[in-house]
Chain A
Amino acid sequence: MRPDPGAVLTGTHFLQGNDACCEGAIAAGCNFVAGYPITPSTDIIERIAWRFPRVGGVFIQMEDELASSIAIQGAVWAGARAMTVTSGPGFSLMMEHIGFAIMTETPCVFVDVQRGGPSTGLPTLPGQADMMQARWGSHGDYEIIALCPESPQECFTLIIKAFNLAEEFRVPVMFMMDECVAHMSEKVVIPPADQIEIAPRRYADQPPDRFVLYRPDKDLVPRMVKAGEGYHFHVTGLTHDERGYPVITPECQEELVSRLMKKIRASEERIRMIEQDVDKDTEVVVLSYGISSRIVSLACGSLQCGPFPSL
Chain B
Amino acid sequence: MIRELAKKVKSIVVVEMNYGQIYYEVERCAAGKARVSLAPHAGGTVHKPELIYEKIVEASR
Contact = CB atoms under 8 A, between A and B. Distances in A.
A286 B26 CA distance: 11
Contacts of A288: 14-16
Contact of A125 (B1, B5, B14, B43): B43
A291 B14 CA distance: 13
Contact of B17 (A126, A287, A307): A126
Interface of B: 1-2, 5, 8-19, 21-22, 26, 34, 41-47, 49-50, 52-54, 56-57, 59-60
A222 interface: no
Chain A contact patch, size range? 35 or more
B52 A311 contact: no
Contacts of B54: 311
B46 A126 contact: yes
Interface in A273-311: 274, 278, 280, 282-293, 295-296, 298-300, 302-303, 307-308, 310-311
A274 B1 CA distance: 10
Q: Of A178, A288, A289, which is in contact with the most chain B CB atoms at under 10 Å from its CB?
A: A288
A283 B42 contact: no
Q: State the main secondary structure of chain A at its contact with B.
A: mixed
A299 B53 contact: yes
A284 B9 contact: yes
A210 interface: no
Nearest to B60: A284
A139 to B, nearest CB: 19
A158 interface: no
A270 interface: no
Interface centre among B13, B43, B50, B57, by most chain A C-beta atoms within 10 angstroms, is B43
A72 to B, nearest CB: 26
B9 A299 contact: no
By CB atoms of chain B within 10 A, which of A132, A285, A289, A311 has the most? A285
Given A122-B43, A311-B53, 10 more contacts: A122-B44, A127-B43, A129-B17, A278-B8, A286-B52, A287-B22, A299-B52, A302-B53, A307-B57, A310-B50
